[in-house]
Amino acid sequence: MLKINHISKTFNPGTVNEVVALQGVSIKIEEGSFVCVLGTNGSGKSTMLNAVAGSFIVDEGIITLDNIDITKWGEHQRAKFIGRVFQNPFSGTAPNMSIQENLALAMKRGKNRGIGWGLPASLIHEFRAMVKPLNMGLEDRLENPIGKLSGGQRQALTLLMATALKPKLLLLDEHTAALDPKTAAKVIDLTQQVIMKDKLTTMMVTHSMQQAVNLGDRIVMMHKGKVAYDFRGEEKKRLKINDLLTLFDELRRKDNIDTAVASMLADNYV
């Protein structure tokens, strides 16, 4: 179970570029739960994901995973428990290394890497069985460098790599945003299969309300570095895209009122 307790993060504090990205976010994610994180641009949804992944250390608050406090852990230490797929299809794979070498690296996620042979023949056999269900013909191209593959193929492989060893937590950061609609649908299908198969605890940041409505058992909506709405269970099931759009409009209207009121007050009293 992932517990995020009141985390805050300000980038470039005390400079003109100061950005308050997270201001006291708290979320509890039960084991086996699949959470979709929605939010406007700059709402802090990706920042929250990166905070959990350890891309930076939060200013305040505590993050625990299965009751282990990982707040101060480095990115590579947390990788022992966490599988990740990035928004950019180029981020999750090493382009100049072969498909099989990339997969072999993933089979050692969070484990000690000694001077054992990196690519034993037994593994290659296993890899062939792993990529075959993708229906991308990759099983015959295991020796090709990954850089030669398309974004969709690379993203599918990244997903396989992130889950090759069952992670305690799977983090998906808008992992279909950079793909064309058809490929995105394929990758989403695969995502669903992978998560269902191992009942993975998942947090998926997305900008697609369609995905949020169709997938998962919970929707967290973020706004201005805070959790604005949190729907689960029956409530989540009943939620439609239109409801989400209304909520977004509401948030936006609140903002507008705030700024409008502020300027009115400024006009009248300053």
Partner 1 sequence: MSLLIGSTTIGLILALLALGIFISFRIFDFPDITAEGSFTFGAATAASLIVAGVNPLLASFIAFLAGMAAGAVTGIIHTRFKINPLLAGILVMTALYSVNLHVMGKSNMPLLSETTVFTWIENLSLSWSGADARTIILGWEVAVKDLWLLLFCFLVIVGFCILLWWFFKTNIGTAMRATGDNDQMIRALGVNTKLMIIVGVALSNGFIALAGAMLAQYQGFADVQMGIGMMVWGLASVIIGEAIINDNSVGFVILGAVLGSVLFRLLVAIALRWGLNPNDLKIITALFVFIALILPGLLKNKKLSFKRRANA
Residues binding partner 1 (CB under 8 A): 53, 74-77, 79-80, 82-84, 86, 90-97, 101-102, 104-106, 108-111, 113-119, 145, 161-162
**Cβ atoms within 10 Å of 145's Cβ, excluding its own:** 16
Work out how close the CB of 241 gets to partner 1 at its nearest, in angstroms, rounded to a whole number. Answer: 32
Nearest residue (CB) to partner 1, 80 versus 128: 80
Query: At closest approach, how far in Å is the CB of 102 from partner 1?
Result: 8
Q: Which amino acid is present at 107?
A: M
CA 20 to chain centre: 20
* Phi, psi at 133, each rounded to 5°: -60, -15
DSSP helix/strand/coil, 240 = coil
Instruction: Tell me the H-state helices in 19-84.
Output: 45-53, 75-78
Strand order in the sheet with 169-173: 82-85, 169-173, 202-205, 34-39, 218-223, 226-232
Locus of tokens 């695969």? 190
Task: Supply the minimum distance, in Å, between the C-beta of residue 53 and partner 1.
Answer: 7
Nearer to partner 1, 40 or 88 (CB): 88
For partner 1, the closer of residues 116 and 233 by Cβ is 116
Q: Which residues contact 93 (CB under 8 A, 6 or more apart)?
A: 102, 146, 154, 157, 158, 161
Tell me whether residue 144 or residue 193 sits nearer to partner 1 (CB atom).
144
Residue 52 CB, shortest distance to partner 1, in Å, is 12
Please, which residue, 120 or 137, has the CB nearer to partner 1? 120
Q: Please report how close the Cβ of residue 105 comes to partner 1 at its closest, in angstroms.
A: 6
